Amino acid sequence: MKPTIAIFIDQPYCSVQSANGVLSALSDYYRFKIFTKHELQSDFFDDVNTICIPGGLGDASSFYSLMHFHLNEIRNFVFRGGNYLGICMGAYWAGQHFFDLMPGVKITQYIKQKNADTKRPHAKNIAIRWNNEPMKMFFYDGCTFKGKNFETIAEYSTGHPMAIKRNNIALIGCHPESEKHWYDSYSWMKNQWHQGKHKELLLDFVNDLHIPS
């Protein structure tokens, strides 16, 4: 039986666009349940292996209104050993001012780092290294991570962590789930799509999350 991922959607903060990219990358191997900001049945997460919070508009101030019904349930799910996958906004929300899932790790804007190779949050194809392989990946004001006790899977060109794991928590600052029409929407990124290769990286990343430690 396929493992089950519960994915949160609230357009535009945790966007349909990002969620569709995740489903496209993973649905051959994972079963999906969708939830929104509305209250759930008490047993909704009982058959769930992973909660995924995707990327979106980037307005962190919306967190408490969107997660009013889910904050404690998601934190308890993760602390009991359930997996958490956060992409861009979902990675920010793992931080201390939100779900507070990674004590000792500061999750902050990459563009605010002194030696960041971009200082603007708008969409771009940014240079990274994934498992030491250089490439460019879709970026929209993604985060980086400061602290210890996590495994770095991918880095920005400056060496700042871009994708990390700690036990049952996996966070990504860029968008490996990105689809061709994302790139086609920006004149400066047309013809730069990754031909689906980044979705394969995301699948491997999530598969590793489901291997018992």
The tens digit of pLDDT for each residue in 47-70 reads: 999 999 999 876 677 899 999 999
Task: Give the Cα separation of 64 and 211 in Å (integer).
Answer: 31
Task: Give the Cα separation of 183 and 56 in Å (integer).
Answer: 15
Task: Give the Cα separation of 128 and 153 in Å (integer).
Answer: 11
Residue 209, number of CB atoms within 10 A of its CB: 19
pLDDT for position 213: 57
State the amino acid at position 128 in one-letter form: I
pLDDT for position 59: 67
pLDDT for position 109: 96
Domains of the chain: 4-209 (3.40.50.880)
The tens digit of pLDDT for each residue in 121-138 reads: 999 999 999 999 999 999
- 75, 63 Cβ separation under 8 angstroms: no
Question: E strands, 91-205, where?
Answer: 105-109, 124-130, 133-139, 143-147, 151-156, 161-166, 169-172
The H or E element spanning position 52 is strand 50-53
Q: Which residues pair with 171 in a beta bridge?
A: 86, 164
Nearest to 90 by CA among 9, 183, 204, 150: 9
DSSP 8-class letter at 111: G
Tokens 């979705």 sit at which residue? 199
Retrieve residue 146's tokens: 């400061």
pTM score, whole prediction: 0.96
Q: What is the largest CA-CA distance in the chain?
A: 47
For the chain, residues with pLDDT lower than 70 are 58-59, 213
